[in-house]
Amino acid sequence: MAEITAALVKELRETSGAGMMDCKKALAENDGNIEAAQDWLRTKGLASAAKKSGRIASEGLVGVATDGNTGAVVEVNSETDFVSRNEKFQNFVKTVTEIALKTGNSIDDLNAAQYPETGRTVAEELTQLISTIGENMNIRRVAVQTVDGGIISTYVHGAIQPGLGKIGVLVATTGADTSAADVIGKQVAMHIAATNPQSLSQDDLDPAIVEREKAVLTEQARESGKPENIIEKMIEGRIRKFYEEVCLLEQTFVIDGESKVGKAVEAAGNGLAIKAFIRFGLGEGIEKKEEDFAAEVAAAVGG
């Protein structure tokens, strides 16, 4: 059997675009023959899938799943919104989210987990899906929340079926009986989907965010020409307003339009408390490709 050298693997990676481990396996299966290994990768759908890996994937679905007092939310991206209506893609996102309940917050652990009834890992199943559907896809992020002595409530915005949509929210609550906690928990989850708070409270808001906001507000106040002692009072008021905008418990509850979220939860009684939340919005922070179809047509004609 031919020796599978690093140089040989590198050459196959460059010509096929497939992953290192896939290239190594292809060479091993074909006694080090580059051309045969390339054909092997193509028959497995790995080479074509790899060629798609450079495309921007900012569409797709967010999946949400719960099991007891644990919840998981996973974002799986595709290139076009059309794929989100594909039944195979939907089943993949749903299954992967359920697997995440056991694998936790690590994407690497999720990718390495066994995909049910296939003999493949999650990563390998995704590669198969890319080859079948013909678009680049990736598991972008995963988060798992567990609450001791409480429950996880969920909300999915833009749901195309239970647990799959464009925004997924988990809310961990403690202190009340399950049914009462879930009612307020779902309401808070809907609020979070709408307002996208940056933190639960002032205490866990990133200090760097606060300092950056103070710096901006201070410069704006100084431009007014007011004395420093007045500026300090102006900043205090504006920072309080900032907290009301970005901290969940300080925000005005969208359900009634009047109460602070923290006060509304407190009014529910039985010591009910919101302990944590997770919100995934599809495509957040991804730089989407701007399509210029006129330029594409011109280029095609010119070519």
In this structure, are 149 and 256 located in the same domain? yes
Residue 173 in this model has a pLDDT that exceeds 90? yes
In a domain, 215, yes or no: yes
Q: For the residues of 55-119, what is the DSSP string, one character each?
A: S---EEEEEEEEETTEEEEEEEEESSGGGGG-HHHHHHHHHHHHHHHHH-S-HHHHHHSEETTTT
Q: 100 and 144 in contact (C-beta within 8 Å)? A: yes
pLDDT (tens digit, 9 = 90+) per residue, 33-54?
888 888 777 666 665 555 555 5
pLDDT at 297 exceeding the cut of 60: no
Give 131-156 pLDDT, tens digit per residue. 888 888 999 999 999 999 899 999 99
- Residue 120's domain spans which residues? 59-201+249-281
pLDDT single digits (tens) 206-242: 898 888 888 888 877 777 777 778 878 888 888 899 9
How far is the first Cα of the chain from the last one, in angstroms, to the nearest whole number? 46
* Domain contains 290: no
d(CA 137, CA 86): 13
**What is the arithmetic mean of pLDDT over 104-108?**
95
For residue 302 the two structure tokens come to 């010119």
Q: Distances in Å between the alpha carbon of 69 and those of 99, 191, 278?
A: 15, 21, 14
- Same domain assignment for residues 30 and 165: no
The Cα–Cα gap between 105 and 117 comes to 23
| Sheet with strand 167-174: strands edge to edge | 150-157, 167-174, 273-281
Q: Are residues 31 and 71 in the same domain?
A: no
- pLDDT in the model for residue 35: 82
What pLDDT is stored for residue 57 in this prediction? 61
CATH number at residue 36: 1.10.8.10
> Is residue 28 located within the same domain as residue 174?
no
Let me know whether 117 and 186 are in one domain.
yes
pLDDT confidence of 17, banded at 50, 70, 90?
Answer: low
Q: Specify whether 129 is located in the same domain as 85.
A: yes
On whether the CB atoms of residues 152 and 66 are closer than 8 A, the answer is: yes
Q: Is the pLDDT of residue 55 over 90?
A: no
- On whether both 34 and 69 belong to a single domain, the answer is no
Does residue 287 lie in a domain region?
A: no
- 64/246 Cα distance (integer angstroms): 24
Q: Is residue 291 one of the residues assigned to a domain?
A: no
Residue 167's pLDDT is: 96
Mean pLDDT highest for which of 18-32, 170-184, 277-291?
170-184
175 found inside a domain: yes
CA dihedral of 223, 226, 232, 237, whole degrees rounded to 10: -80
Number of domains in the chain: 3
Does residue 292 sit within a domain? no
pLDDT digits (tens, 9 = 90+) for 61-96: 999 999 999 999 999 999 888 888 999 999 999 999
- Inside any domain, residue 298: no
CB 62 within 8 A of CB 282: yes
Burial 194-229 (b: 16+ CB within 10 A, else e): ebebebbeeeebeeeeeeebeeebbeebeeeeeeee
- From 24-33, 82-91, 252-261, the region with the lowest mean pLDDT: 24-33
Same domain, 43 and 189: no
The CA distance from 167 to 148, in Å, is 25
**Domain check: are 108 and 137 in the same one?**
yes
Whether 134 and 258 map to the same domain: the answer is yes
Phi, psi of 91 (to 5 degrees): -65, -40
Q: Are residues 89 and 222 in the same domain?
A: no
In a domain, 21, yes or no: yes
Q: Are 173 and 151 in contact (CB under 8 A)?
A: yes
pTM: 0.74
Q: Rounded to 10 degrees, what is the CA torsion of 197, 200, 203, 206?
A: -40
**Percent over 90 (pLDDT), the chain:** 49
134 and 42, same structural domain? no
CATH code assigned at 210 = 1.10.286
